Structure 1
Amino acid sequence: MTGQRFPAADDTGDPREPESVGHLETRWPMAAAVITSAVLTVLLPDDLRLGPRWALPLAEGLLLMALIAGDPLRISRRSTALRALSIALVCVLVCGAIWSTLQLIEDLVNGGAETNSASALLLAGGSVWAGTVIAFSLLYFELDSGGPAARAHHMPRTPALAFPQHLSPELGALRWRPRYVDYLYLGFTNSTALSPTDVMPLAPWAKSVMTLQSVISLVIVGLVIARAVNVLA
């Protein structure tokens, strides 16, 4: 039937089987993550934000609306333009998160408006930390195995990120695919444990990005807590 898009089966299976429909990633989880990131950006102090208060949320909102217009509800359309929009959105999020981290470090070292109050510092530090978790989770989501649309159509035999269901197929459903919540969990655990937990990076880029995220999280948590304790003392 025209208008329907079904992912191609893997090496084993029939592309006409109805189970294939279940592998299409819904749009709302990643959209909710982008909106949450925009809200966190608005709540940041002015000196921790890249550009005016409205700049990053506006850019993220426009890119998100373009993605939704081009491939609404379920992510299944493979398009160079949509892929470019997705990568651009992730770049905006990651650049904003790294900028906020660097500015927070500078304020902690040289003194800033939020560093004199433990509550304000913890709020700012927590917002920056949460923003990095979301930004890196979307980075993993978009880069692993060619992105969600590519994963819906075909999973490579050697993914960049090996989830437990890849290492032990008997633990997952037939033709299991990672979804955004899996990458959000990866971003969260990598920022708290500062090392791989249940997801193993296989590709060099995945190892590099996970290392960068761990370093950023370590710096944020270590410096913010140290400064907050010093203020309270």
Structure 2
Amino acid sequence: MARGAVFVIAMLQLLLVNDLTVGPRWLAPAIELIMLIPLSIATAWTQVRVRSATADHHWEAIRNYRLWIRRTAILLTAVVSLINCFALLQLVRRLLEGHGGSAQTLLVDALNIWVTNVIIFALWYWSTDRGGPPTCGLTKRAEADFLFPQMTLSDRELDNWIPGFVDYLFLAFTNATAFSPTDTLPLSARAKLLMMTEAMISLLTVALVAARAVNILA
């Protein structure tokens, strides 16, 4: 699902109405998809290796490949984050200069940037919590960065519960709408910093860009 999320981000960037991207409109999505393709191939290849692994050196090689995959995924997420922040800053700059486009296009682009921001931070939460998915089953999981409701229940069936990408997407969505934790609490410093950054970007998008567009409509 995470790879599908990156594809959705690329499509959203193509749908920006105003010229807010880095270079030509196709450049940012092309960079993201070019980075995503080898990452997807490496992930699929590693999954095949897991099924045939029998010796310790097999698992050691898989562990190294997964750590490389995690670093590449974090780099891809960072690139996507910078591109979306650039689009937001460009839109804010044009608004302040009085060249932001029509009210309708401002609303569309503000919504586009906001949705992209939610998906990006879902990827950040997913790739950093407990060392990220690549460490699952291969190394001792790190301490949790987030406290999900399922982790507080005494049901034995939930003792080994691990959050999936949808859980992080819900976390990112609620943080972007409420500008604060809801049912899931940040535990580590990096989780708090990530949530603060997402809320700040979301607040800027909603309060400044969308509000200005509504004023133009009025």
Q: Say whether the fold is shared (TM-score over 0.5).
A: yes
Conservation of the 8 A alpha-carbon contact between 1:56 and 1:92:
no
After superposition, residues 76-87 of structure 1 pair within 5 angstroms as 77-78=62-63, 79=65, 80-87=67-74
| Aligned counterpart for 1:105 among listed residues 72, 92, 98 | 92
More helix by share: 2
- The TM-score with structure 2 as length reference comes to 0.84
Shift of 1:71: 1.4
CA distance in 1, matches of 2:106, 2:156: 42
1:154 Cα offset (Å) = 5.6
Q: Specify the alignment match of 2:161 in structure 1.
A: 176
* Equivalent residue for 2:42, pick from 53, 63, 70: 70
Alignment of 1:88-103 (within 5 A): 88-103=75-90
Q: Give the C-alpha shift of residue 144 in structure 1.
A: 1.0
| Shift in Å, 1:152 | 4.5
1:49-84 deviation per Cα after TM superposition (whole angstroms, max 9, x unaligned): 123222221121122111111112997753232122
**Which residue among 6, 9, 16 is the counterpart of 1:44?**
16
Q: Which runs of 5+ in 1 are unaligned?
A: 1-28
- Pairs aligned (count): 203
AA matched with 1:34 = V
* 2:149 match: 164
**1:52 is paired with a residue of what secondary structure?**
coil
Of 8, 32, 38, the residue aligned with 1:60 is 32
- Report % sequence identity: 38
The RMSD of aligned alpha carbons is 2.2
Unaligned runs of 5+ in 2: 51-61
Evaluate the alpha carbon distance shift between residue 38 and residue 223 of structure 1 in structure 2; reply closer, same or farther with a 3 A threshold: same
1:153 Cα shift?
A: 4.2
Range 155-164 or range 74-83, more displaced? 74-83
- Residue 155 (structure 1) shift: 6.4
Determine if contact 2:80/2:120 at 8 Å carries over to the other structure. Answer: yes
d(CA) in 2 for partners of 1:217, 1:152: 35
Counterpart AA for 1:230: N
Give, in whole Å, the separation in 2 of the partners of 1:96 and 1:171. Answer: 43
Contact 1:165 1:172 in 2 (8 A): no
SS for the counterpart of 2:200 is helix
| Match in the other structure for 2:199 | 214
TM-score, with structure 1 as normaliser: 0.79
Find the partner of 2:116 among 119, 131, 134.
131
8 Å CA contact retained: 1:190, 1:213:
yes
* Counterparts of 2:3 and 2:24, CA distance in 1: 22
Contact 2:118-2:169 within 8 A present in 1 as well: yes
1:33 corresponding residue in structure 2: 5
